[in-house]
Amino acid sequence: MSNPSRDALIARLPKAELHLHIEGSLEPELLFALAQRNGVSIPFASVEAVRAAYSFSNLQDFLDIYYQGMSVLQTEQDFYDLTWAYLERAATDTVRHVEIFFDPQGHTERGLAFETVLDGIERALRDGEVKLGISYRLIMCFLRHLSEDAAFATLDQAMPHIDRIHGVGLDSSEVGHPPSKFQKVFAKARELGLHVTAHAGEEGPPEYVHEALDLLQVERIDHGNRALEDAALVRRIADEGLTLTVCPLSNLRLCVIKDIGQSPVRKMLDLGLKATVNSDDPAYFGGYINDNFRAIADALDLSEAEIVKLAENSFTGSFLPMADQIQHLAEITEVAGG
Ligand code: ADE
Ligand code: ZN
């Protein structure tokens, strides 16, 4: 049930977003505008037709449309506009820090230069830091349906700019593409001093989460829903204090769960796991971070203390230095107590 004082707390609480694909924040209105600006033809007659097409029965259904949507992104300014639109929206949800995924292979495969993508996204992130007070980290994802050689080629393209990239991730079609496929390229990324994270256990089995931890040595698990099927794995995630970046509305729209009341956040909190709440691909899944918070707060009847805990987890699970985390936690205490 909706609860006005809980909603007000969600609106006010400072938070970090740790699981956000910048290409998944491409709203139909901007998709249309960019298609026109760049003379790219898209198979939709109107913004409403685009929205109507956003009905998915699994991850692959969504990915097919997601990669198609990306085709309107052509110039550095397009990537700037995309990222800036997300940051402005995030600011209205009291987001103070973002750790953004981008999928360079979704663009370089279409002939764009790696630099076009990186420059546009980063320019907006820097403006966001100055004008909106939102700090950031940038995480380059490898598409797991492509080969490890292709991931190495992407890392090579990133090398001249590696000081501008903070971490690597692993996304796209999970089942059939286990983390083990990317063991060597993740080892190289770790050698370079990059942070490492991976999507695991969204549709894939608990074994993929084990692999992400053992073979890729990830610092966080993106999604991690199916880790709950394995009691030993749950104990390990709890003991090691690993962060799970859960995406409730994404889970619902990709049929990972049947209704929002099945969001794994309830169980994760009860088991003492460090769950966080994130929007994944908000333009496609019907909500930004506060929409995700409100949806589970209502469905799982979260207490105010649990909502505060989720906001705290978003900072302690981030790649921010400890001193910055402590400042954000102090602001949370001030807001929650006031
Ligand atoms: N790419 C964008 N969103 C994704 C998701 N939820 N899972 C895997 N790959 C993605
Ligand atoms: Zn994701």
Strand order in the sheet with 243-246: 15-21, 95-102, 135-143, 167-171, 195-200, 220-223, 243-246, 274-277
Pair type for strands 195-200 and 274-277: unpaired
Q: Please give the pLDDT value at position 184.
A: 98
Residue with tokens 């998915």: 56
Distance from the first to the final alpha carbon of the chain: 24
Per DSSP, 255 falls in state: T
* Residues comprising the chain, all counted: 338
pLDDT value, residue 2: 80
Give the distance from CA 158 to its chain's centroid: 20
pLDDT at residue 88 in the model: 98
The pair of structure tokens assigned to 293 is 């918070």
Q: Structure pTM?
A: 0.98
- What is the token pair recorded at 174? 């999970």
Among 202, 211, 306, 312, the active-site one is 202
Q: Is 19 helix (H, G, I), strand (E, B) or coil?
A: strand
Vertex 218 angle, CA 103 and 331, to 5°? 85
Residue of 22, 62, 101, 247 to test ligand 1 pocket, by largest number of atoms within 8 Å of CB: 62
CB 13 within 8 A of CB 312: no
**Which residue ranges form the domains of the chain, and what is each CATH number?**
4-336 (3.20.20.140)
CA separation for the pair 72, 31 (Å, rounded): 7
Q: Are 219 and 196 in contact (CB under 8 A)?
A: yes
Determine which residue's CA is closest to atom 8 belonging to ligand 1: 172
Nearest of 249, 261, 201, 256 to residue 225 by alpha carbon: 201
Span from the CA of 212 to the centroid of ligand 2 (angstroms): 15
The annotation status of 281 as a binding-site residue, yes or no, is yes
pLDDT in tens, the chain (338 residues): 688 899 999 999 999 999 999 999 999 999 999 999 999 999 999 999 999 999 999 999 999 999 999 999 999 999 999 999 999 999 999 999 999 999 999 999 999 999 999 999 999 999 999 999 999 999 999 999 999 999 999 999 999 999 999 999 999 999 999 999 999 999 999 999 999 999 999 999 999 999 999 999 999 999 999 999 999 999 999 999 999 999 999 999 999 999 999 999 999 999 999 999 999 999 999 999 999 999 999 999 999 999 999 999 999 999 999 999 999 999 999 999 85
The pLDDT value recorded for residue 338 is 58
Q: What was the pLDDT predicted at 209?
A: 98
Mutate which of 172, 221, 245 for ligand 1? The one with the most ligand atoms within 8 Å of its CB, which is 172
Q: Residue 199 annotated as binding?
A: yes
Q: Could you tell me the distance, in angstroms and rounded to a whole number, from the CA of residue 171 to the centre of ligand 1?
A: 5
* Residue 16, both tokens: 């970090």
Q: Which residues contact 194 (CB under 8 A, 6 or more apart)?
A: 162, 165, 166, 167, 168
